[in-house]
Amino acid sequence: MEVKEGLAEMVRGRRLGCVLLMCSVALVLSGCPVWPQRSAAPPGVAGVDVRPVPSERLRLPPGEYLNVAWLPDGTIAVNYIADPEDVQSQRRPLKIYRLERDGTQMRELRLPQQPGCVRTDYIVNGVMADGRLLAGRNCVTGEPGDAGRSEAIAVDMATAQMTTMAPLRSYSAAVAWRPGASEGVASYAGGRCASLTAIDSSGFLPAPQPVMIDGRSWHLDTVFRPGFEFSNSPKLCQPYGRARDAQYTNDGNTIVFFASPQTIGVSGKRREDIPWNMYRASPVAGGQLLDATSIRKVLTGIGDPHGLALSQDGRWASVAGDFGRHWVGAWLTDTTTGRARLLGKGSVNTTAFSPDRRQVIATVTDRLGRLESHLEIYTLPASL
């Protein structure tokens, strides 16, 4: 059985894990950062600077701001819903809007509704190496028992021309496309069974072998494997670890992702409380996705990571998550050393770097329990 999440779940659940969040960026190693004197790190977590950086809330109409991408020309693409009730009722399709860096000139990107669909949702995922917007396109047919269909697409922002990159069947999966290659990675971020799988223009590519991470081995593509079925059993996915939110560097030579191998053997809701680690590895062609011998742990102990983005040079990663309930927000991580710095506290959903990597934009929920949010821009220290 496949799972198709409703719009409300896509908005809040995956954090664009399960809203088709697609991205692709790059990593070039050079030197070490100059980190300022750190204030006290969260208990049990080393190498984390918890002083927030300067930030600015964009002045925009009220409503729900979901997934965001910062385009090469400096403009911003974002999913926006004026009436939060539309998220719950799913009365209107999810649309993409474009605005200037200062929040002005917000206008709808007019993309067509698909034939045979009662609603077509377009979901911002990120920016491809060639500058096109990476997005998800979800068709809701409205037919009883029909979960609809999803696909990853690339959008030329100058012409609005769309190219289908990969069919996703009825999964709400985040997709990243490997630069210079004909394949990428899909991420299912749902709860107990978070999974990664290789994809190409034909769809999902089953992994031929399990992957060993921190001494524990499992097929990273758990939910995508033929024959997998979701259930209400507390033992669902118990034999497997979890993996999610993968992104490629712009040169296509590195993949950065989150995994939780220590989840193996844990059952029920307790699986969702196990922290995650950030890893980097060398990608490989075909269903295996990555070279297990190249896996290197970058960051440990982050809870509920989502909204991962990489800077244009691949040195930095921005991610939403927590280091305990008092340290929830957006974080900046050096992918070469694993040192992390707080960008800002709050219920952050998705993040994206500016083209010059000097700023990070995020969608931030105003109040938990209410579908209202805003766009926040964090300015990174000049020393980075």
> What local confidence, expressed as pLDDT, does residue 258 receive?
97
Instruction: Identify each DSSP E strand in 95-179 by its residue range.
Output: 96-99, 107-109, 119-127, 133-140, 149-155, 162-167, 174-177
- For the chain, which residues score pLDDT lower than 50? 1-39, 44
Sheet holding 340-345, edge to edge: 48-49, 340-345, 328-334, 316-322, 296-310, 276-281, 255-260, 242-248
Question: What is the Cβ-side half-sphere exposure of residue 275, based on CA atoms within 13 angstroms?
Answer: 14
> What local confidence, expressed as pLDDT, does residue 48 receive?
84
> What local confidence, expressed as pLDDT, does residue 143 receive?
83
Separation of alpha carbons 299 and 309, rounded Å: 15
- Reading the block at residue 7, the tokens are 């719009």
Q: The domain at 7-378 falls in which architecture?
A: 6 Propeller (2.120)
Cα 99 off chain centre by = 21
Number of H helices, E strands in the chain: 2, 26
